[in-house]
Structure 1
Amino acid sequence: MTARSPPAFPDAASPNRKGTRVDRDDTTLRVLSTSDLAGLDITLADVVDTVEQAYRTLAAGRSDNPRKLTVQPADGHSVSYAMLGRDGVRNVVAFKTSYKHGLDKGRDEQHYYTTLTVYDDVTGLPVAMMDCSRIGSLRTPAVSALLARECASPDAATALVIGTGTQGRLALPFLLTTLPGLKRLLLSGTHPDGIAAVRQELERHFPGRELELVTDLKAAARDADVIVATAGGHTPAAVEADWLKPGATAILVGHGLAPSTLHRADRVIATSEAQMRVTGTDMADADGTLPAVDLELPAAISGASNARTAPDQRIFAYNSGLVVTDIALGHRFAQLAADQGLGTEVDLWR
């Protein structure tokens, strides 16, 4: 694949960029709620470009993305993450927290809270604190779409999404954004509301595109050039390595791929090898081992190396997310929110 020029970002690198600084003292913080962010309109292409720029900046050594911290009780009923990063183009520092409770229960009984707090590293003032759920719901499928763009065979025509939860619902629209040549769109899911939501999002972003609901996962996997597995932990779906056609790309976001797709892959690509070794332990072999990663996504996006080096390679790609992508997208949302006067100013430090 050829190197791509970095996308342009209005105001992203300017010390006077609009929307991130307001005339206030250092005791106030703009708080953006779930409803504030829900009202912001942003295109899928804007999201992809913002996330891609974050990877390019990281690959250039201008951003910092330390390894995440994880805390989990012995019985596994909850999990917590803390992430810190710095975006060297936007000149912002941010902290992200993530806490999920009820992993031993059904989806409706779980509790999930995630926040992002952004500070301007030029003025030293806080930019905003926001609910990070919408950011994650957009960032993650955008990363999967970038992985697909870098890893898929040049003639990829069929995409299969496994799962209809938060990540599954926008997976196909984002894939079509980075791989507009896809012709068949397959979905494996069991929840009627989730299936309806996938159809709704596809129609909203790409009107008229047909969605095929599959019942034979093995047959669907054998047809697919790109598979994005987004299912929850309780899914019985598990695509095996010998189901994959030559040249297939299998992207793991949640669940839906068996460990064999990783261990028997011709190439392993990850957003971050270090993070895969923290969050991907369920894909380890009987000895608790994960194979080495051949290439990380930032290097592929920057053009330093190609993710795919032969047409028939079966590629496994691991999407664990990097906080620099949350920071870039969160900062973009903060710009849009400030432009519209959204959010609540809180005298947090007074």
Structure 2
Amino acid sequence: MNHQQPLPEDLVTDRSTSVHDIPGRTLRALSTSDLAGIDITLADVVETVEQAYRTLAAGASDNPRKLTVRPADGHSVGYAMLGRDGSREVVAVKTSYKHGLDKDRGDQHYYTALTLYDDISGLPLAMMDCGRIGALRTPAVSALLARACARPGARTALVIGTGTQGRLALPFLLTTLPDLDRLLLAGSHPDGIAAVRTELHRHFPDRDVELVTDLRAAATQADIVVATAGGHTAAAVEVDWLAPGALAVLVGHGLAPSTLHRADRVIATSEAQMQVTGTDMADAEGHLRPVDAELPRIVAGAAVGRRTADERIFGYNSGLVVTDIALGHRFAQLALAQGRGTRVPLWQ
């Protein structure tokens, strides 16, 4: 991959707001509360993620496959992801660790962190909790998938699940597809349903969501289905439930394997990542359907998302570290402008 070729003008990130506050051997640590206090628009998040995809498609970024470790009994899992954003010229490492997979969710522990380094000065930029970054990045990717692959004139969106990803799915969809006029929600947890409504009203005060109890009937009516439910969900939309031209996006759980294997077209953020993390969608022989196109190339105009109005499309949303890097760098810029974070003399 040749990183010496100049990027197109629209991919060059404005670096005038440097995230360096002191040279040398200190690191700015950004906690969960530091990041929670930063206001960022949904449109800003979408634009940042989209630019990261364009830079990757242009061959100017690196996004190697993640490394995974887990003990034999499966009680924990750890991931490490290294990447480089070629437009921001930032190198970063993201780590994720979850403990207690054999226990109820309330007894589990989950930590994720992102460390950024400036690849021009060679200096460290920041280390931050990556929870909010992932919570914003993932629904932004679903919204980009919807913009690229929803059928023309799409009006109805169905979200399955009311967890972290379900709560921001609809606001992000409305950001990229403002003509959506019917918003459906399939969920069973009262607190989660209330949280979905709260997030929707916070970003779009004049919009509301319809709670559905018949998942099959709702899926039949939807132009876009975004499945964000947890692993214990009983929801499993089959391909025959989907209307002609529907887009089904898998983020967590809620879609049956038939939506992948019998789709007219399969789009993924990364085919390599799908082969690693999408094994629960494998067929009886343990195989996954090949991917027809990847989202970064579609966003960059190098590949086609939808070909016809009536084809059913399966979209696989898995995280790419280059999007975490871009969004993390954006948060670091905003944090520095607001004087947030703690200077840590890590190497002194």
Which TM-score band applies after superposition, normalised by the shorter structure? Answer: over 0.9
> What TM-score comes out, normalization by structure 2 length?
0.96
Give the equivalent residue in structure 1 for 2:13.
Answer: 12
The answer for the alignment partner of 2:340 in structure 1 is 342
* Alignment-derived partner of residue 89 in structure 1: 87
Deviation of the 1:222 alpha carbon:
0.5
Gaps of 5+ in 1: 1-5
Deviation at residue 100 of structure 1 after TM alignment: 1.3
Measure, in 1, the Cα distance between the counterparts of 2:87 and 2:252.
Answer: 30
Distance change in 2, residues 1:307/1:7 (3 Å): farther
- Give the structure 1 partner of residue 164 of structure 2: 166
Cα RMSD, aligned residues only: 1.3
Where does structure 2 lack aligned partners over 5 or more consecutive residues?
A: 1-7
Matched residue, 2:35? 37
2:199 aligned residue: 201
Q: Deviations over 1:141-169 (max 9, x none)?
A: 00000011111001111000000000000
TM-aligned CA deviation for residue 42 of structure 1: 0.1
Q: Provide, for residues 45-75 of structure 1, a one-character-per-residue CA deviation record: whole Å limited to 9, x for no partner.
A: 0000000000000000111100111112233
Aligned mate of 2:229, from 228, 231, 250: 231
Amino acid of the structure 2 residue aligned with 1:83: M
Q: Which amino acid aligns with 1:147?
A: L
TM-score normalised over the length of structure 1: 0.95
Greater Cα shift, 71-80 or 91-100: 71-80
| AA in 2 matched with 1:224 | A
Q: Which residue of 2 aligns with 1:249?
A: 247
SS for the counterpart of 1:136 is: helix
Residues 116-195 of structure 1 aligned to structure 2 (within 5 Å)? 116-195=114-193
Instruction: Within 5 Å, give how 1:272-287 maps onto structure 2.
Output: 272-287=270-285
Give secondary structure in 1 for the equivalent of 2:28: strand
- Quick one: which amino acid aligns to residue 23 of structure 1? I
Question: 1:22 is matched by which residue type in structure 2?
Answer: D
Aligned length: 341
SS in 2 for 1:170: helix
What is the match of residue 52 of structure 2?
A: 54
Deviates more, 1:67-76 or 1:79-88: 67-76
- Structure 2 partner of 1:3: none
What percentage of residue pairs aligned between the two structures are identical?
76
Task: Return the letter of the residue paired with 1:39.
Answer: G
Map of 1:293-308 to 2, 5 A cutoff? 293-308=291-306
| Runs of 4+, deviation exceeding 6 Å | 6-9
1:305 maps to a residue whose letter is A
What letter is aligned with 2:68?
A: T
Distance 1:262 1:118 in 2: 36
1:251 counterpart SS class: strand
**Judging changes above 3 Å, is the alpha-carbon distance between structure 1 residues 8 and 109 closer, same or farther for their aligned structure 2 residues?**
farther
Displacement of 1:304: 1.2
Deviation at 1:110, TM superposition (A): 1.7
Q: What is the CA-CA distance between 1:255 and the residue it aligns to?
A: 0.4
Q: Which amino acid aligns with 2:235?
A: A
- Matched residues in 2 for 1:56 and 1:102: separation? 37
Query: 1:8, CA displacement in angstroms?
Result: 6.2
Greater mean deviation of Cα atoms: 138-147 or 65-74? 65-74
- Per-residue CA deviation, residues 299-328 of structure 1 (Å, 9 max, x unaligned), is 100011211011111000000110000000
